[in-house]
A and B are shown apart, each in its own frame.
Chain A
Amino acid sequence: MRRVGSVAAIILLLAYAVPGFAETSGFQEAIFNPGLLKPVDSTVKVVIGQVAPDFSLRSINGGMVSLSQYRGKNKVVLSFVPAAWTPVCSDQWPGYNISRKIFADHNAVLLGITVDNVPTLHAWVQQMGGLWFEVLSDFWPHGRTADVYGVLRTDGMAERALFFIDTKGIIRGMSVTDINTRPLLEDLVRELAAMP
């Protein structure tokens, strides 16, 4: 009898507790907020006009993706974001996800890169509902590609950075922006349009 009473009490408590969670977004709850960070915490190591350093990184789709495989075929936009499951990053790429035509119109491919490992990136991208572009893990050796480009922060995350590379593999534009804010889409489009 006592046990029945306890169970009834627990059920009652749960019944009252559930509505508190009913209207909140699961994605929002999953996001870790690191607070306000130092806007930029690294020094770029490449310059406009040089050949973009090649890399080969593991994709969440399986296999490796190299920058050099696009040479002579497509322009490439590298989008480094600091980390999975953080506020700004978690909506920057979904914005690019509805911009596929913009990239296609400029014969450009988009490569998304973070320093997270593949399982983490897989779960994060699934939560976003999937992405059309390659998402690459610069996890091990940790942040090596980010470091080569000069966008590895002292805390091990990458900067929020975009690199624009032409079909010959030359860097034609770059922007390392405040990690706490999202770069405007029109700025990306302008850089894309300016590439020869």
Chain B
Amino acid sequence: MKTTALQLILTLCLFWSSSIISAGELATDKEFLPDLLLPIPQDEEYRNYLGLTGAGGSSFSLADIKADVLLIELFSMYCPYCQKEAANVNELYQRMEEVSTQGMVVKIIGLGVANSQFEVEHFRDTYRVPFPLFPDLDKSMFKALSGAGTPSFVGCRLNGQKEKPVVVVRKAGGFYNAEHFLKELLEKSGYQRQ
């Protein structure tokens, strides 16, 4: 009787295990990035970073960003964990810049969830964030991206204009180690860290 109970538990564990494997397989199915429109930054430096040629104030799609891999940080000026993670994210940006000189371009943008322009700028100035940040005051982009709290990250492979951008990484919470996270992002995008 006891043996039967143990066998049942082990069978359940195995069943659970096979469910996890199935979920992993499903995760490899393509998840396309929603077609979000953002305002082209007024700051020329940010326009150049994103490779945008339109005038500041008009809109652009995420697919317009001139990069092979794009990471979207969902943050809030009010989130203490985002504040704590800011230095790590800045370091990640630096490492992205380093690898982007080796024939593959990886970029990062931030969306300030439920933040106004003023609040996003306050966060940028406080932590000297070097990459473009955009407000998402009504959380519409956060919802479209199926955001999982703040901070969280959505990584995608952009594919140029040939194919819709594909989500390759989702991470809720901080990543703690910029090098490891960049390696994960690149590998899941089909690139190797040089």
Contacts and interface: CB of A to CB of B under 8 A. Distances in A.
Interface string B104-143: 0000000000101011001100100000000000000000
Given A28-B149, A95-B77, A12 B10 contact: yes
A98 B173 CA distance: 20
Interface stretch (A50-58, A77-85, A136-144, A180-188): A180-188
Q: How large is the interface on B (under 10, 10 to 19, 20 to 34, 35 or more residues)?
A: 20 to 34
Interface string A1-36: 010011011001100100000011101100000000
Prevailing SS type, chain B contact patch: helix
A189 B118 CA distance: 10
Contacts of B119: 95, 184-186
A98 B126 contact: yes
Contact of A185 (B81, B116, B149): B116
Interface string A89-101: 0011011011100
A90 B112 CA distance: 17
B158 to A, nearest CB: 25
Interface string B72-109: 00001111110110000000000000000000000000
Most buried by B among A92, A94, A129: A94
A185 B79 contact: no
B122 A98 contact: yes
Given A91-B76, A94-B78, A97-B80, A184 B6 contact: no
A24 B172 contact: yes
Contacts of B171: 23
B32 interface: no
A58 B81 CA distance: 28
Nearest to A28: B149
Given A94-B83, A98-B77, A186-B118, A5 B6 contact: yes
Contact of B122 (A6, A91, A99, A182): A99
A27 B17 CA distance: 29
Contacts of B123: 98
